[in-house]
């Protein structure tokens, strides 16, 4: 795991303007050279659903930041009312096995990168954040959520089972009891409810407020030795990371096998139809 903590540098072109910035199609990265804070923005309309391409770009951006001298990174969304709608259901509905494998591997890798970043991370949750969206925010060190949206691991509502590392991500943030109640019922919490159970750390009036509060969070580390900080993070998160690293293939096989079950496909079909009928 130590090797993952000191992330390899990949070439990326940061412009030397007022802020450093790099934008791929689906992810924008900017580094404010005054504060040293990076903002990583998902930008895949209409709902930032996590497909293979978005996950690959996100993982690349987070890895690249590991080689920069940054104070911290904020993960957020360019969309007005949605942080991320979670995994792209179309990646799971009637999938080609090879694409499904690449997709799930990219999710595992993105989670591993985000969960173990050497730099502090904040999710500025500026909209709804179900399932995979919630998972991404749980992988950050701190969550600030704009009022009147929803967040949670609602997999059971889709007839699917949250894998062990989704469950661990939640149990490492809220209590075992609350996780059990939430996961078994597929509960989506409103912002104020999420704050009460500790699923998020702070609420915000709007995205700008969330970004300002994220900056304050990073300031907590101004007087903290960065190596001591990192090793402490590693100590707290290492076991969960190691479990996924050790069981990565088993988890992948389980996912692909699960998707091939007719009952799972039927469930996804019904869910997709319901989403479309909503309009
Ligand atoms: C062994 C392990 C096995 C499996 C583990 C798999 C784990 C999965 C975890 C997941 O992340 S599953 C995905 C769960 N996500 C959801 O349940 C969210 C579903 N979406 C919503 O609830 C809503 O769309 C929203 C609250 C995010 C946004 O609402 P609104 O602003 O009203 O937008 P629309 O609902 O009208 O959606 C616009 C458009 O986007 C499509 N869409 C929404 N979510 C997804 C998605 N996750 N994947 C793909 N597409 C999605 C929706 O169908 C609409 O499409 P149109 O073509 O009708 O425009």
pLDDT tens digit sequence for 242-259? 999 999 999 999 999 999
Share of the chain above pLDDT 70, in %: 93
Identify the band that residue 154 occupies on the pLDDT scale cut at 50, 70 and 90: very high
Amino acid 24: pLDDT? 79
- CATH number of domain containing 264: 3.90.226.10
Q: Which residues are known catalytic residues?
A: 87, 132, 154-155
Residue whose CA is at the smallest distance from ligand 1 atom 21? 85
| Atom number, ligand 1, closest to the C-alpha of residue 150 | 26
- Any atom of ligand 1 within 6 Å of the Cβ of 89: yes
Mean pLDDT of the region 199-216: 98
pLDDT exceeds cutoff 80 at 122: yes
CA separation for the pair 161, 71 (Å, rounded):
36
pLDDT of residue 279: 64
**Does residue 127 have its Cβ closer than 6 Å to ligand 1?**
no
Residue 163 domain boundaries = 2-277
**Is the distance from CB of 20 to CB of 30 less than 8 angstroms?**
yes
In the chain, what percentage of residues exceed pLDDT 90?
87
Rounded to the nearest angstrom, the distance between the alpha carbon of 18 and the centre of ligand 1 is 36
Look at residue 243 in the predicted model and tell me its pLDDT. 98
Question: Residue 11 — very low, low, confident or very high, per pLDDT cuts 50/70/90?
Answer: very low
Ligand 1 proximity of 224 Cβ (cutoff 6 Å): no
Residue 90 CB–ligand 1 contact under 6 Å: yes
Q: What is the mean pLDDT of the chain?
A: 92
Residue 5 confidence (pLDDT) above 90: no
For residue 85, the model assigns a pLDDT of 98
Of 79, 253, 272, 275, the residue with max ligand 1 atoms within 8 A of its CB, to mutate for a pocket test, comes to: 275
pLDDT bin (cut points 50, 70, 90) of residue 158 is confident
Tell whether the model's pLDDT for residue 16 goes beyond 70: no
Which ligand 1 atom minimizes the distance to the CA of 89?
48
Q: Determine whether the shortest distance from the Cβ of 183 to ligand 1 is under 6 A.
A: no
Mutate to test the pocket of ligand 1, among 81, 85, 146, 268 (most ligand atoms within 8 A of CB): 85
Q: Would you say the CB of residue 271 lies under 6 angstroms from ligand 1? A: no
* pLDDT at position 7 over 70: no
Place 15 in a pLDDT band, splitting at 50, 70 and 90. Answer: very low
Count of domains forming the chain: 1
Q: Of residues 7 and 171, which shows the higher confidence score?
A: 171
User: So what's the pLDDT on residue 19?
Assistant: 66
């Amino acid at each position: 795991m130590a090797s993952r903590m000191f992330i390899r540098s990949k070439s990326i072109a940061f412009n030397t303007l007022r802020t450093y910035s790099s934008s791929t199609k689906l992810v924008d990265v900017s580094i404010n050279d005054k504060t040293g804070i990076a903002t990583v923005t998902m930008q895949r309309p209409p709902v930032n659903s996590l497909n293979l391409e978005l996950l690959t770009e996100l993982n690349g951006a987070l890895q690249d930041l590991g080689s920069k001298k940054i104070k911290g990174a904020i993960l957020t969304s360019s969309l007005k009312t949605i942080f991320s709608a979670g995994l792209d259901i179309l990646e799971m509905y009637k999938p080609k096995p090879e694409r499904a494998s690449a997709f799930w591997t990219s999710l595992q890798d993105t989670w591993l990168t985000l969960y173990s970043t050497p730099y502090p991370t904040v999710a500025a949750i500026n909209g709804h954040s179900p399932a995979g969206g919630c998972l991404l925010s749980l992988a950050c060190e701190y969550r600030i959520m704009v009022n009147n949206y929803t967040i949670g691991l609602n997999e059971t509502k889709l007839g699917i089972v949250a894998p062990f590392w989704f469950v661990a991500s939640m149990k490492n943030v809220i209590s075992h009891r609350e996780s059990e109640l939430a996961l078994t019922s597929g509960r989506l919490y409103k912002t104020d409810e999420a704050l009460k159970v500790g699923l998020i750390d702070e609420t915000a009036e709007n995205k700008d407020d969330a970004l300002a509060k994220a900056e304050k969070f990073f300031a907590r580390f101004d007087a903290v030795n960065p190596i001591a900080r990192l090793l402490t993070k590693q100590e707290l998160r290492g076991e969960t990371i190691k479990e996924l690293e050790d069981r990565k293939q088993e988890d992948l096989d389980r996912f692909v096998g699960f998707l091939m079950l007719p009952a799972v496909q039927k469930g996804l079909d019904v869910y997709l139809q319901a989403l479309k009928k909503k309009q």
